A = this chain, B = another copy of it.
Amino acid sequence: MDVDDMLMIPGPVQLHSRISRAMSKQMIGHRGSKFSETMAYCVEGLKEMFGTKGDVYLITGSGTAGLEAAIASFSSVKRITCVDNGKFGDRLGRIASRYTKVDVVRFEWGKAIEIEDVEKSIAEGSEALAFVHNETSTAMLNPARELAKLAKKYDCITLMDAITSVGGDYVKMDEWGIDVAIVGSQKCLGIPPGLAAVAVSNERVWDFYNEKCPFYLDLSAYRKKAKDNQTPYTPAVSLFFALEEAVKMVREEGLENRIKRHRTLAKAVREWAKNAGLELFPQPNEISDYSNTVTAINLPEGVTDRELRGTLLREYGITISGGQEHLKGKIFRIGNMGNIGKREIVTTLAAIEDILSRFDACKPALYAAFEVLRSL
């Protein structure tokens, strides 16, 4: 195949040529006014996507760096409750345990968060609650609004991993009452990996600042420099150029339209799956939902991961994701983050249908996707 392979994974995402071009601009000094203008524009755009009038700090690093900056910087808490119903929920607990006492509330991966279990943990003496908004490992949208409400009842601060929701789904920090949230660059923002943004919606959370947090991930240093639209350490300038272009693209499309696009694409994948006789992996309850940026489907019996994903890559040049950890070989995941559109979704579903039908593991169901996609 001559053209690039197609990336349909939940990040990193395929790049629009506008992003690649912006990124390849000549280098500039990171202490000059040109860089500050770029950074100011990025921060403004991100505030809209986080749904906050608070601060946004940009960290050069992966999403995990952003998570740790948030957790470590605000770890002067007696105890933190971390909710784990997937790989990234699990990660929150692992990070937090390096800084303070942690209580992990575990749910089977793919199962919904039960608010009563979380409440029980918090009531036992937590001062912070950390959870994942959009859990990509299981393709579940966790109940951010309800968790934030619960946290407020107990005067807990809330830290939300919004790495794969910001820019692709509704995130309303101020309205929901989320104190700190984190996004990664290579997800719904549509740029390469290497940047994380941490949004801090209010001043109160600084009461829990821990000066013993890591030097590089100390948000107080980012806060100090943010006043001049600068970063404390040399930023990944090229990725800031890419982010600037991404914010432009979000504004051109309109955030509401962008979210509608993500939601419609994910719905098309789900409707296709159901009509193809496949099973969705996650089991949302009344307060949670299927993810709108990635879909996880049980691998049908009689088809191996290699037979599906291997053939898809070899014959069609399309990469989708498998399961992570103990879900390896049990599910496959299709991402629809960033600048993915109708064309990529239809192509991917058609190709999967071609392969699964060879195993009699799938009924023709593209019509179900078309029907949903017509609203775009």
Contact = CB atoms under 8 A, between A and B. Distances in A.
Interface of A: 4-5, 7, 9, 11-15, 20-21, 23-30, 32, 60-65, 68, 72, 94-95, 98, 184, 186, 192-194, 212-217, 233-239, 319
Contact of A236 (B5, B13, B27, B239): B239
Given A63-B234, A94-B215, A184-B234, A26 B30 contact: no
Main secondary structure of the interface of A (DSSP, over half): loop
A29 B236 CA distance: 20
A333 to B, nearest CB: 12
B26 A4 contact: yes
How many copies of this protein are present in the complex? Answer: 2
B20 A5 contact: no
- Of A194, A217, A234, A239, the most chain B CB neighbours within 10 A belong to A234
Given A4-B26, A61-B60, A61-B61, A214 B68 contact: yes
A30 B15 contact: no
A236 B30 contact: no
B27 A7 contact: yes
A28 B5 contact: yes
Contacts of A237: 12, 186, 192-194
Given A27-B186, A236-B236, 19 more contacts: A7-B29, A15-B27, A20-B26, A23-B23, A24-B24, A30-B193, A60-B60, A60-B61, A61-B61, A62-B216, A63-B234, A64-B215, A64-B233, A95-B216, A98-B215, A193-B235, A194-B235, A214-B216, A238-B238
A29 B318 CA distance: 11
A65 B319 CA distance: 31
Nearest to A91: B215
B98 A235 contact: no
A29 B4 CA distance: 12
B233 A27 contact: no
Contacts of A13: 27
Contacts of A7: 27-29
A32 B319 contact: yes
Nearest to A3: B26
Nearest to A212: B98
A238 B191 CA distance: 10
Contacts of A214: 68, 72, 98, 214, 216-217
Contacts of A30: 12, 193
Nearest to A324: B31
A334 to B, nearest CB: 13
Contacts of A28: 5, 7, 12
A12 B214 CA distance: 24
A187 to B, nearest CB: 10
Contact of A14 (B26, B65, B72, B192): B26
